[in-house]
Amino acid sequence: MHLLNAWLPPPVAEQTHLEIEAFSKAVRLLQHDCSPVQLADTPYASLKWISVFNNFLKSKSDLALYDIEIFITVILRLFLHRKENYYLQVRWGRVLYKYLKKFSKKLSIVLDWRSFYDAFMHAVFLRRTSFEGFYMQARYSKILSNVVCKCRRYFSEGSAAEIWAQFRPMLNDLSHNASLEALGFISLFLPTNPEQEPQFFTSEWFAECLRLWDGVTYCQYWNSQWLSLVGRCIRNNVYMPHLHLEPFVPALFSQFLRSFEVPVAKTSGVFPYQREVTREIILAFPSEWSHSIPKNVAKSIVYLLQPNGSAQRHLSCLVDLLEQYYHPSNGGPWTTSLERFLRHTVVFFLKRLADEDRKHSYNVEIEQGFSHFLTEEERKRFVEIILRLIKRGQYSKSSSLAYTSAKALSELAYFEPILVLPTSIRCFYTALSSVTATHQLHAAIKILALSARTLLMGSAINIEFPVTYPNDELVLDCKRILESAMFDLLSGLDANDPPKTTATLQFFCSIFSSLEIIRSDADDSSSLLVIDWSKWLDEFLGRLFSLLLHLESDNHIHAAVEGEKPLFGKSFLVRNDSFYQSVLQVLFSRLTLNLYRQALRSIAKFVHNHTVSGAAAEIGLLCSAIVYANPSHGISELMKPIMTSVLSSLKECTSTGVYGIPSAQAASHGKASISPAMEMLIVYQLNVISLGLMYSAEHVIQYEDLVRDIMNTSFAVPSGKVNEAGSHFLSAILQTVTVYYPLNQYRISKSYSGLDGIEEWISMKVDSGIEEKGPLWHLPSQNEVSFANELLEMHLKAALVQLQAVCSESYQGDSGNEKEQLRVLLLRINGSLRGVGSCLPEFMCSSSKSSTDEVQPHFMSGAAGAAVGSAYLREAAAETLHLACNYFLSKWSDDIFLLSLLADSIAAVGNPGSLEYSEWISTEESIKAELESLSEHSSNHLTGHFVKGRKRPKWLIIERVFSHTTWRASQSQYNQYRISHESKRELPKHIFLIMEDLTRLSLHNYDAVRKT
């Protein structure tokens, strides 16, 4: 079982085994819909299964290989059928490509290459009677090419010889366009897996390919197709006993050099005389030349490297010529291709080393032996050559080249730390200490952040640098370097320099994700980094507080655009790539109790004494991190005083009487209001506690009376902003007590054996060889479920009754106060629905009675949390909101805010999975930077550990599991109303009411309402 499924919450994980049976049923039903008779009658009947099979792929379930092969066979028959339309084939072709890419190494099918060739000729080169547009034809051609690339490994024995025999005669006349077409077919269809026919790939055949390649002076299409074919042959050359590449190395490197369009002297870098390619050939064989050429060159060079071979020497000559174009002052259009060349060269080199290390460590028996494996000296020589390009490119004006250089530096450090780490260290200290190199500080911090884990490992194993650096004290002690950088980089937290601040937070995140529990000197002086952690923590928090106080307030003002209702403004600290939240979560969770209390006191003092309305989101995340690390202490010492303060402020405000709470200060005449200063303070505090109490589990139940009073009074205050903040507070509390989420996520798991103080990161691969205990999940207790039901009774059920009364014809209330009352009622309803999401049971289906124990073909195990409320409550919400929609469109059709809020509430009732899906998208985007940065290569020469798949911190893996749980919850009921062949399920009537309301609102005059 995949790790993402093995670590799911127990109620969800227990049902994942049923997905195997569901997939098998879905395949059988798809066979029926794709039968010739069914396709003739209803050609689009199969499209309803696309989302189902996409879900099975994303679910990471252990599907039966037999069913997968049947599915691929069925879709291939549909995809290659000449009489079908492009739309159907393109839609299914995307799904087919995903399955082939996922399971390509496990399938055991045999295919005929001519069926693909006939489909290709029919679709691209023959005129069709039907017209479906140029775009659809181009999309089908592209997808067909991708499918052929994945399927050619399954071509029957003898296919390579047949393909070469059919298209080789067309290459006799290279001046004819038929030669371009023939090369496209050969490059696309020719399989290079020699286990089927090893006698075909010989040195004579390869020499003929090079002669033909030289036949056209310059043509990007020609070079791209030959590089693709030759690159695949070179990669598989170890399995080709009759193909010896060493004699062809000089000629190959000449072709590689010609592939780079770089200027010489005052030339433009573009070849002046190029062979033109017809539009039909470009359409038939689409190829992103700027992408594929550098990638294939890099792959060919890496796999040309052999013990005692000449490729290393030719690579050095090639780098001599290209090195100058990596310099920051020599940038141009060619920089993109050079960046891709560097990136793919490092990727393929590390991939080859990891494969060799895996075979060595697991004693894999291979027929070719280990003679072609790179020796230690050859590895070092290759790294030395690539470092020349990295040193030039690390300060490039191109952000992509600068990042690629930094990433390559950190990746190579796992293999050759003695060569790589001095480069990282020296560039950092040069930028830090030199007045003339301060502009390089951001890039230098990025490099140090990506190399921080290797520096920690180097300090743990007392790595010794060579005598090459006898007078360079900067590179003599990794431990001292990091200890110094921890304090030196605190000045990088600067509100006026977001890139530098982000890079600094990335460095701290990498350090804390690699360390065990952070101890003070009083606790233990034998930690990996011997610094005064108490002093560092005070300085860090001081810098952080100063940063929060000086954030640009313009970024935090609520948008005044119609229909937009953001809860918080956003600065660069809450962007997806800031590492702000990750640093705080990891740091506070790994502090000893003494250091935690010290941090809690400092944060409490800052938050209680400062009102930074422009940084509510940032301060809320700060409170959330410190509370999550220790909820009992965090809530009592930090959040409770804020809740008491906001409740006191709310009680001082005049009550509108809308919510039913009387106020002695209520005005007898005129419209009630509060001062702007009081409104700002209350909104700020409500926003802070909404974020601060998220994921505080059952600890919030101890303060349920205080929480209840805050909710009630926030809806009674005559302020739209306060009411809206109260609605978000209601949503946050409901999510806290109902949703499944991991507890103690950021705690240390275990350290490397022999490397005390460094956390061992893990891989998500099933056979990675690392056994880890899954996370501890928050499973809502009975008290939490009871509290959630109580809140739903107060703010959903009661609000629905009041809304129904207001929208009825017999309503006799105060018409002057009706708009405010409707706004508050909708905010309470919307906050309740968004808080519980899919935890509120789905509509009851008025269907023919069928066995509830039968697994449906669309089954997907998933739940966001514990079930609260009832299906009748969701049905009551749908009926009441339908009544309200009619009423609003007749009386309040010009009120954008009310109509937008109504549409949002109706969507939450009718499609509960959409809330979890939006949360999943947000989570995936937020952890993208961490997944890219916090990554350890599968083959680590510093520790001697070799696993399958990249390794990452356990807390980040748990975050992926939590995201996967959210996605499963969004999809578990998405396809439940699909019609099966055995029994027909009728849609609930409330679905039609919701569809009617949303259709009318989507046709409203105001754009803001339509967008909602």
Provide the whole-model pTM. 0.92
Beta carbons of 654 and 673 less than 8 angstroms apart: yes
> Can you give the residue ranges of every domain in the chain?
1-156, 418-492, 516-629, 803-869+884-1011
- CA-to-CA separations, 211 to 251, 255, 310, in angstroms, rounded: 10, 11, 21
Cα separation, 628 vs 958, in Å, equals 15
CB of 421 closer than 8 Å to CB of 454: yes
Specify the 3-state DSSP secondary structure of 5.
helix
Residues pairing with 763 in the sheet? 951
Map residue 591 onto helix, strand or coil. Answer: strand
Residue 663 is predicted with a pLDDT of 46
Phi/psi-derived region of residue 623, left when phi > 0, alpha when psi is between -120 and 50, beta in every other case: alpha
What was the pLDDT predicted at 45? 85
CB 718 within 8 A of CB 673: yes
Q: What integer pLDDT is reported at residue 527 of this predicted model?
A: 65
The pLDDT, as a whole number, for residue 455 is 86
Query: What are the backbone dihedrals phi and psi of residue 852, each rounded to the nearest 5 degrees, phi first?
Result: -75, -15
From 722, 688, 723, 700, select the one nearest 795 (Cα to Cα). 723
Helix (H, G, I), strand (E, B) or coil at 863: coil
Q: What pLDDT was estimated at residue 38?
A: 83
Bridge partners (DSSP) listed for residue 759: 751
Q: What is the pLDDT of residue 462?
A: 65
Give the model's pLDDT for residue 788: 95
Question: How far apart are alpha carbons 636 and 621 in whole angstroms?
Answer: 17
Which residues are within 8 A (CB) of 611 and not within 5 positions of it... i.e. 6 or more apart? 680, 681, 684
| CA distance to 43, 462, 733, 922, per residue, from 692 (Å) | 53, 42, 10, 19
Cα separation, 607 vs 160, whole angstroms? 71
For residue 559, the model assigns a pLDDT of 40
Strand partners, 591: 518
Residue 962: its pLDDT value, please? 95
State the helix-helix crossing angle for 335-361 and 376-393, rounded to 10 degrees.
150
Which token pair is 945? 């550990």
pLDDT at 362: 64
- Per DSSP, the residues of 214-234 read HTSS--HHHHHHHHHHHHHHH
Query: Which residue type occupies 433?
Result: S
Residue spans of the chain under pLDDT 50: 467-472, 474-475, 522-523, 525, 553-565, 567, 660-670, 769, 848-851, 980-983
CA distance 722 to 728: 10
pLDDT at position 660: 47
Residue (of 956, 40, 315, 285) closest to 585 by Cα position:
956
